[in-house]
Amino acid sequence: MDEGYRIAVVGVGGIGAAACYWAARRVGGGVLGLEQFPLFHLRGASQDSSRILRRAQHEEPYATLAHAAYDTWDEVSAEAGEPLVVRTGGVVIEATAQRAGLATGGRDIDGYAAMMRSHGVEHEVWDAAELQRHFPRFRLDGDERAVHQRDTSLVDAGRANAAHVRLARGRGAVIRDECPVRALRPGPAGVEVVTDDETYRVDAVVLASGAWTNELLPGPTWPLTVTQEQVTYYAPAEPADFAVGSFPIFMWHGRENFYGFPVHQGHTKLGQHLGGHETTARDRTFVPDEVRIKRQREFLDDHVPGFAGPEVLTKTCLYTLPPDQHFVLGPLADEPRIVAAVGAGHAYKFASLLGKVLSEQALDGRTEHPVEAFRTTRPALVDPAFPRAFHV
Ligand SMILES: Cc1cc2nc3c(=O)[nH]c(=O)nc-3n(C[C@H](O)[C@H](O)[C@H](O)COP(=O)(O)OP(=O)(O)OC[C@H]3O[C@@H](n4cnc5c(N)ncnc54)[C@H](O)[C@@H]3O)c2cc1C
């Protein structure tokens, strides 16, 4: 039994790597990170060249945390000595179908604008003509509406994960990969973390194991849905037209919800939010869905001609969704020494902040950040009859 660590972080993906870093800032070598696969593997949710970071939020709990999310990325970038965030500007576009009520999981421009107003976030609401004037590469039907927010950015997730791990280790944390955790056993003297070659007893555990979470919960499991999502990278013929500064990050709310990135690391990128099929962390494949690739290309041909070009790569990835699509963040109902996080398919922008919050909850039993909405005792997680707020 190794009792040399105060806190164990189980799962060193995007959120776990951040938790290792923020915990190491507090207790240095008292942090142990355990990852089942090689670090920075492609089987989870966090390894990619870009993730959207935005102040443009339409729901209160996220709008409240957005500023702190930017601040934590700034702090980590400063310590890492490299820019992890690229500011691109961003537009949320409400398309015709959205207003016709044909949309999935509707989010309207007025909702975004009202939320930003109430949080003091500068923004502009545009009609189709204004959007076209600013970004002529969009092809619009004419009655779209958009809200523009200039701080929308991409976080280079691959760089950020590596930076969190490097800085955590630099502060004394021990991070072991290819070391699956088999079980968590809370006991009177601490929580036992069982691996194949060692059992660790620690004061607290951060459970940041994404799509595998239910395999490790010592008590009741949660009604989590895992979906296999995908993004496609393209080599546009005229990359300058889609370069950062010339073209924004965009979220298109129409019949389907697409999101796209300007050229980063040589490619544009497009994904569809919640377009994937249900799976499990163990049954997922790495086979792209050709139907979705075709659907994306049709969308781009219709509304952003030239953004695509030849397809470079389609990469699959996992969402882990509670029924209400909100994060899970906080201590387990019946075991406060274990604090857990599930990203609900939209957490990378908050990854460093969530890592900080988890380290505070694990080390102090509390946090200043307003995360009550994500508690593990909420109805969506404990009421078996709670309806799923999304379609798969
Ligand atoms: C296609 C796609 C696009 C996205 N785009 C955005 C975006 O633009 N903006 C945004 O904010 N969010 C976005 N997200 C969501 C975001 O990426 C995730 O919410 C976030 O990365 C989740 O991080 P995580 O650390 O919880 O999960 P993961 O990175 O999957 O980490 C969990 C880790 O736990 C490890 N683990 C599991 N079980 C064990 C065990 N028994 N022992 C040891 N280790 C274990 C796993 O191997 C894994 O490394 C996107 C997600 C996808 C799939």
How confident is the model over 2-53, as pLDDT tens digits? 889 999 999 999 999 999 999 999 999 999 999 999 999 999 999 999 999 9
- The band of 98, judged by pLDDT with boundaries at 50, 70 and 90, is low
List the chain domain ranges.
Answer: 7-47+157-221+324-382, 90-150+225-321
The residues near 385 (Cβ < 8 Å, ≥ 6 apart) are none
Angle between helical axes of 60-80 and 351-364 (0-180°, round to 10): 90
Query: Could you give the angle at the alpha carbon of 250 between the alpha carbons of 112 and 121, nearest 5°?
Result: 35
Pocket of ligand 1 (CB under 6 A): 10-16, 34-37, 44-46, 51-52, 180-181, 208-210, 212, 216, 229, 231, 271, 317-319, 341, 343, 345-349
Q: Determine the atom of ligand 1 nearest the C-alpha atom of 320.
A: 19
> Which helix (DSSP H) or strand (DSSP E) does residue 70 occupy?
helix 60-80
Residue 78 pLDDT greater than 80, yes or no:
yes
Give CA–CA dist 253/247, Å, rounded: 18
CATH architecture, domain defined by 7-47+157-221+324-382 = 3-Layer(bba) Sandwich (3.50)
Threshold 0.85, pTM exceeds = yes
Of all residues in the chain, the percent with pLDDT exceeding 90 is 93
Contact criterion met (CB below 8 Å) for 390 and 105: yes
pLDDT digits (tens, 9 = 90+) for 231-248: 999 999 999 999 999 999
Closest residue by Cα to residue 255 from 273, 242, 237: 273
Handedness of CA 43, 44, 46, 50 (dihedral sign): positive
| Chain-centre distance for alpha carbon 371 | 16
Q: Which of 313, 264, 343, 318 is nearest to 84 (CA)?
A: 264
Residue 348 alpha carbon, nearest atom of ligand 1: 11
Using the Cα atoms of residue 106, residue 109, residue 114 and residue 119 in order, give the sign of their dihedral. positive
**Three-class SS state of 25:** helix
Ligand 1 atom 21: residue of nearest CA: 46
- The SS3 of residue 315 is strand
Q: How confident is the model at residue 255, as a pLDDT?
A: 86
Rounded CA separation 291/368 (Å): 45
What pLDDT score does 237 carry?
97
The one-letter code for the residue type at 345 is: G
Q: Strands across the sheet with 51-53, in order?
A: 51-53, 153-155, 85-87
Count of other CB atoms within 10 angstroms of residue 357: 28
CA distances from 312 to 49, 186, 248, 308 (A): 14, 47, 20, 10
Tell me: pLDDT of 105 over 60.
Answer: no
Pocket test for ligand 1, best of 48, 50, 179, 209 (most atoms within 8 A of CB): 209
Bridge partners (DSSP) listed for residue 207: 10, 340
- Are the CB atoms for 318 and 281 separated by under 8 Å? yes
Q: What is the 3-state secondary structure (H, E, C) of 266-286?
A: CEEEEEECCCCEEECCCCCCC
Mean pLDDT confidence for 110-129: 96
Q: Give residues with Cβ within 8 angstroms of 180, minimum separation 6.
A: 34, 36, 195, 196
Give the integer Cα–Cα distance in Å for 73 and 69.
6
Separation of alpha carbons 254 and 98, rounded Å: 5
Q: What pLDDT, in 10s, does the model give residues 257-314?
A: 999 999 999 999 999 999 899 999 999 999 999 999 999 999 999 999 999 999 999 9
Closest C-alpha to ligand 1, atom 14: 346
Q: Do the Cβ atoms of 32 and 9 come closer than 8 Å?
A: yes
Could you confirm whether domain 90-150+225-321 is CATH 3.30.9.10? yes
Output DSSP code: residue 195.
E
Rounded to 5 degrees, φ, ψ at 238 are: -120, 75
Which structure tokens are listed for 104?
A: 């999935």
For 266, left (φ over 0), alpha (ψ -120 to 50), or beta?
left
Query: For 341-392, how does the pLDDT look when each residue is reduced to its tens digit (9 = 90+)?
Result: 999 999 999 999 999 999 999 999 999 999 999 999 999 999 999 999 987 8
Give the number of C-alpha atoms closer than 13 A to the C-alpha of residue 135, restricted to the C-beta side.
31
Ligand 1 centroid distance, CA of 207 (Å): 12
The burial class, CB within 10 Å (0-12 / 13-18 / 19+), for 383 is: exposed
Sorting pLDDT into bands at 50, 70 and 90, what band is 224? very high
pLDDT band at 108 (very low <50, low <70, confident <90, very high): confident
Nearest residue to 207 via CA among 181, 178, 169? 181
